[in-house]
Amino acid sequence: MSRIRSSDTKPEVRLRKALWADGLRYRLQYKVENIRPDIVFVSKKVAIFVDGCQWHGCPEHYVKPRTRDEFWSKKLRDSVERDIIQTKLLKSKGWIVRRVWEHEIWENTVQVVNEIRAFLQAGDIVNSSGNNGWRVFKVDIIDLETDVEKRYLLSLGSPEKTQTIEKKRSTRKWKRKM
């Protein structure tokens, strides 16, 4: 756990390099209401977070650990709660929040950069991922033999909205283009 980074992760650095190469200038380590987004466009009041699929409960790629269930479940719930609180606080202060999944960056960095550029120019946010606002906050195993699990999702925008999906557990990662 001590080797897991909270900033300067590979997907974050990849996105920053692509934004910089595209001529978009941003700030790092910029505090907004005691929150440090990964990338900040101060003049447009835009905060961008790069969320890791495992740590923030990606509906597509989250894998429930098989050991220390109580510890990892609490860690996931705390992370999702923090995402909700940070998003609400920043929005209440007039900031626009864009959360980017780690897999979006690995799958198509150019598209993510284009979406951010379009947003900064037009002032209207574009989400490529339909799952961008949903987070896994709990997982129940339905069948151990077939590895089917029930995932409980909640919306970042309105946490009272929830949904469930049944999915086969998979530890296969998406194809990363280095």
pLDDT in tens, 60-88: 877 777 788 788 888 888 988 999 999 88
pLDDT in tens, 116-153: 888 888 765 544 344 458 888 888 887 777 778 888 88
Quick check: is 146 in a domain? no
Between CA 50 and CA 148, with CA 53 as vertex, the angle to 5 degrees is: 160
Domain count, the chain: 1
Question: What is the per-residue pLDDT for 21?
Answer: 93
Quick check: is 70 in a domain? yes
Going from the C-alpha of 51 to that of each of 12, 79, 121, 123, the distances in angstroms are 9, 10, 24, 22
Residue in 163, 164, 135 with CA at minimum distance from that of residue 148? 164
Hey, which residues does 49 pair with through a beta bridge? Answer: 99
Quick check: is 147 in a domain? no
Which of 58-62, 100-104, 112-116 bottoms out in mean pLDDT, i.e. has the lowest?
A: 58-62
In CATH, what number is assigned to the domain containing residue 21?
3.40.960.10
Quick check: is 2 in a domain? no
Quick check: is 108 in a domain? yes
Quick check: is 92 in a domain? yes
User: What average pLDDT does this structure show over 92-106?
Assistant: 89
pTM, entire model: 0.81
Quick check: is 55 in a domain? yes
Question: What is the per-residue pLDDT for 126?
Answer: 45
Task: Give the structural domain span for 30.
Answer: 10-128
